[in-house]
Structure 1
């Protein structure tokens, strides 16, 4: 679309030129072609930008700026090329289409496509396009290529400065035809490399930049053509709602930016630290950000020049301390001594100059390297398979959490004898040490199991005769009065009455099926929360006793602390520590209050809840299933730390129990797992399901039931699954937290939430696995299967907006 006064057209023709103040737009209005000035200059350039001029993706007259606003864009007089003219009608840029490709009698037009590609058309056939002539920005459908036969390269070239789009000293290209990877060059010197492409990922990228784990990079591909002599790197947009750029900055940094529905959702520098500088530690050196200085020699090597090395000039690199077996034969003519082996370096960026073999297995790769005197290291990747190296090892980086490969470094036997810990050895030698370690581990493990079995048997014996939770309420109360709940203080009613101002309405802070909750203050100034059982509430009475029994045994920073109870006459009360910041739902579902819940605070709450559940399921003296996890039962202390509360429906499991069954289904609609709602079966996986729903609510800022007025009557789980399979899951995220810097972390949490709400209980992860996923200790997440979708008929008790609401729910499977 050309904006000329009030008229609009979608193409440039010979009869419609574009002046400096005018633009041509793509049909969806996302891209524009026109004149612009970079920062700190008045020079005028013709460029294409996405959304606004801060996102320039292509420049025409890079080397020849126009000094004023007299320039125009038009079809040349020969009706063949698109040209940029200055005020004197001099050509400052031309598409340079060969006269063989276009006829002067043809109908040549220019059009800006919806992908940001400027095309020159002759009778609707493309004869020239901007994506085949990139500047400093890589976009969808563009091809970066290298042709080994012709030497031709299509590459990115940086601007000279942020104020000057002329070709700078940095370029980015595809290299290494046998195992392609991306290089950034400073003129003729490499300054960064991606590591080899294995069909899914670049092996030199950490998890933050993994193609396979980012929804924005799934269209990336590298193909080899013409018997491997032509290598092409391209990116296909998943759909029109996505847009991505890789910009080579004037400082040689690759900047990755992604948009979803024209909102920027991701921006980062691919080279983010000193270890990203190519070969910073020299030959046979290794870079590791976790240590200082960051450069060390590889195991079995020493600095070539110790004086320079100590001054942190690492360019000369390292040399071997001991000769390999092949070298001993070569230089001394003797094959005496033990043969070489390998030491394993996990999570390592593969060195440069790899020699791949796409057919060898892991064992074959090792034997191949060991039998080849020139082979100094090998690795195995299921995409490329066998990777080997000879000569000096250049550009090795050790990653701290994920990424890279397990690199097996060839070592002389004398070095293997020094480094014999099982975590680093993968050689012929040192196996006796590994065996010894395994035997010792088995023996120690057997002793620990025996000790645990003894104490377990003693513990289960002591548990016999404990309180039966199905006894009559009078017997249970008598047990408490007789102080059978150890270390639990009994408060006098008169003290509670005084602390709560006679249960005055001003002190009332909550209402639920159990009864009312009041804020109070003891004589020593301690603030408390008092849950007062409603008269005549049979369900509440059982919940009261259950909560006393359960929570009196628990101590964890993410569980609300029970201070004691009060039982006098008909009065039955629980006394808790007071939580000044109310419950999670008080903030999460309020359009104003939720603003204080930024992503870091929400993540802190998610992690705290997960740790609390892990304690209940695995680490406490009792194994406990909560059965009513929801935002109203997550209380927040003065520092917004989450604490799981309301254990009225919790169940205690014995040591060998993994699942329970009940005919009485109590819970809250939208949070109950399908096996519990329909069959009465509950287990740890029931809480996992509730946690998954809660996690998705925290990220979306919406209740599970908030979609019932939707035209398709979707629940939150149905909606989340729908947009997940449509690859539009970003639209689930609460706009208050949808920021580029934390998007990948949020998307990972959504993935974890969907794993937790899978319909089949055994497919859901354990709480220990969830905690590991949240901490990125488990890097690669399995794909989720469809969540459980439920129809409901619900009876509610109390106010569901209260943090103490309790509901009785009957559900049917869809």
Structure 2
């Protein structure tokens, strides 16, 4: 797997080795599409390029010279020249302009100052500037660093500059192959205490925490970042600490990834990622909520508060005791958190104050405070008013901040009573724990011996896959001994850790849980099948390890997580445009066809769902989790099991009711996923105010009423073509028909999706489209089948 997220911008340079003199463009010079400017030490290059799929659109850009072609700045990103006759030159006022052969201006440096003797220079920092020929670079009239693309280079600043009035932000591209401005931006929010923020339009997606004196909260350990004199400038930058090429990029899903170039491996490596997921999603837990993501994101309340709504934690929390600003109040300290949102209306900074608690108690509207030590200035207090939102625990102990939350006197009294109880109860509990520990030690040793024997058996059974076996030391080194900071999720198999091998390759390590639902047989199933399957739309198994009690699977790392991570969350779902959704559907179909027909093994997956569709760095789908897959013989079409295993909403009717499964069972699951992708809604748990149907029933109802297009996800707007959308919904409904023999095989499904001229069949009634029926009558269905048992898996397994 490469280390590149899916935001790279592939380019086709149009020059052919012709450069003008050195690193400058003089007043009487110009460059066309066959020429380039190269910085003095040949670190950067400025020239013209096109996109592979849009060769008629020409852009003026800058990139690292001699490295894989990644554009770091584009002049005319929103106004490409439509042919190859573009020229960069000076106009009569000394401004840089980009024109075509008729003289039409497509871009300009647009300085209000007339430059008498202009010169343009490309520096070794990647900065392209305009200045007077008799002045130095520091006296520039205009510079590209003030107008960022989606990339932050070392020495470049984001944030506010009072001299120019500019608030510099990174802006994402519209798509992989379209450098025009997207709707995501990254920069410094200067409204209140400065903080790093990613926006979608005007809406905050997530933030990195506020300024704490000499840097930003939650980015202290990252490569150097600075805040400058707040009287003139509030800005953030990165240092080129290894003296090699590096860059930070805002990708198309809102992640900010810092890259460094490794000369030995000759590739870009990810140094760290600043992204929104789980607790990083802005205001996930509402006002006065507190988010924790030890395993998965979960919401609680700050001390002194309780949940406002039992059904929806995003509604936030309310005070347990509304009586505030009374005698006896105090503060509860919460350690290792990201401070609350610090916009102007909710925060106040005062310097030179030693006793922040007294300062906060003096104001009845003060909700909480934090302490700062500002270099060269001294102590300071930060106090919050109005609301406390977007507070979360940080993963690494000692890297967060202390927050002191104001609570009523009754809460402090309750805390004192708890302390007395603790003094009495703790000694008793300690004795019980000691006795339990002895029992656990005895049982653990017995189980360890049994498991070790079992491990030998498993290894012998997997002997033909032994070239995939990895030493435990390699995996421990890659995951920093399974550090909690490396933990990226939890599935039915057990916890999942991110790691990096000594070669630089990023990996995902699944660790078998003690009481894993999949168990040993399904572990062997996973290794046996995936090791023999090779397809671009199937996740790649890199290895496995069995060491004492440790049973591990090692996969290629998927940086964009799973399909359900994007599809079923409002803000992230909007990042999936129509074409991206179509590409994901086609990719899943191709992977499934490979399993059913084209691989040397004919495989039925049996647990196809959005959570098991992983997304690589380019948002290409890869089918994962083969723990309950089954292999069919060449002429075998169907079989039956007395152990039904699967996930609500994705299992076919014949599989649930009779234990029968076939390739058509996977087709049914694929149809569910297809309809989920186009609608942005989950089948299981779907709610509509006018009926009790699930998503399949809702789609079927709209189809029969001639209102099919109402199923399309509203966030897509007018991105789709109506005929194409109708075709995809039609195919989805064909796949989820109640009777297996009426569902198309995957080869026919793929043909219908990829061929606009292929006639489509009118679908028949889908299976299990009444949500109330599925949930209330499921147990009675199984009670009629004496030999069938069912294991239901979580949606996110």
Q: TM range, normalised to the smaller chain?
A: 0.3 to 0.5
TM-score, normalised via structure 2 length = 0.48
> Which structure has the greater CA radius of gyration?
1
TM-score, normalised via structure 1 length = 0.47
